[in-house]
Amino acid sequence: MLTLEGIEIAQGDFLLAADFTIAPGRKTAVIGPSGAGKSTLLGALGGFIPLRAGRLEWEGRDITQVPQGQRPIAMLFQDNNLFPHLSVAQNVGLGIRPDLKLTADDKASIALALDRVGLQGMEARTPGALSGGQQSRAALARVLVQDRPVILLDEPFAALGPALRQEMLDLVNGLATETGATLLMVTHDPADVRRIADDVIFVEGGRAAAPQPAKALLEDPPPALRAYLG
């Protein structure tokens, strides 16, 4: 269980509040108008933005002050965050050891992750020699080797065409189901919500609302969500 207890996050003059729990293994879409604070919420959960108030717990353990790399949380960034001068295997290896002093076991984990995302045989390439979809797969492999119970995705695969985006979402969805990971994904697309989300967190008016079952919420949205969905 991920517990957000009386959380407040400040970004300059902007303030976002959140107070709810997320059950383990749930897949949650984070939606809301532009500038509402979706990335701010994920950044705070991932440990990239400090909390102004409140507590963050994972399975009863207070992780409010735990540094980013030591949280039970991995994040997939919109731009994939791949280093152009490093090989695919090294880029994935950064998820295990930032100094890239990789053991034989680490290398086996990297090979397994690349296999799971369909990049076997591409270990030695640099990101520039991969297609956009393959780059997304490499970034996803880096999330997999971190082996964290919570995965955050901030508008993933936004740079990909619709078909490839759906393929990647299905891949993430399948891997999360297989590993039992808890997934939080920022998206602007209701089709993404229908495709993979159990629940929806609606962010608006300085507040991230508690997760609501996705199907019921989309079928009968409250006025603010209805206005957002158009």
Binding flag, residue 230, ligand ATP (CB under 6 A): no
Q: Which is nearer to ligand ATP, 106 or 155 (CB)?
A: 155
| CB closest to ligand ATP, residue no | 12
Binding mask 36-75 for ligand ATP (x = CB under 6 A): xxxxx-----------------------------------
For residue 222, count other CB atoms closer than 10 A to its CB.
11
Min dist. Cβ of residue 44 to ligand ATP (A)? 9
d(CA 30, CA 63): 21
| Residue 9 CB, nearest approach to ligand ATP (Å) | 9
d(CA 181, CA 156): 16
Nearest-5° Cα angle at 186, 175 to 221 = 110
Single-letter residue type at 24: P
In angstroms, give the least distance from the CB of 161 to ligand ATP: 20
Decide if residue 12 touches ligand ATP (CB under 6 A). Answer: yes
Q: Count Cα atoms within 13 angstroms, Cβ side, for 105.
A: 2
Cβ-based nearer residue to ligand ATP, 206 or 222: 206
Nearest to 138 by CA among 197, 84, 66: 84
- Distance between CA 46 and CA 68 in Å, rounded? 6
> Backbone phi, then psi, for 171, in 5-degree steps?
-65, -50
Instruction: Provide the token pair at 44.
Output: 């705070």
What's the min distance (Å) between Cβ of 16 and ligand ATP?
7
Of the two residues 24 and 35, which places its CB atom closer to ligand ATP in the complex? Answer: 35
Judged by CB under 6 A, does residue 11 bind ligand ATP?
yes
Positions touching ligand ATP (CB under 6 A) are: 11-12, 14, 32, 34-40
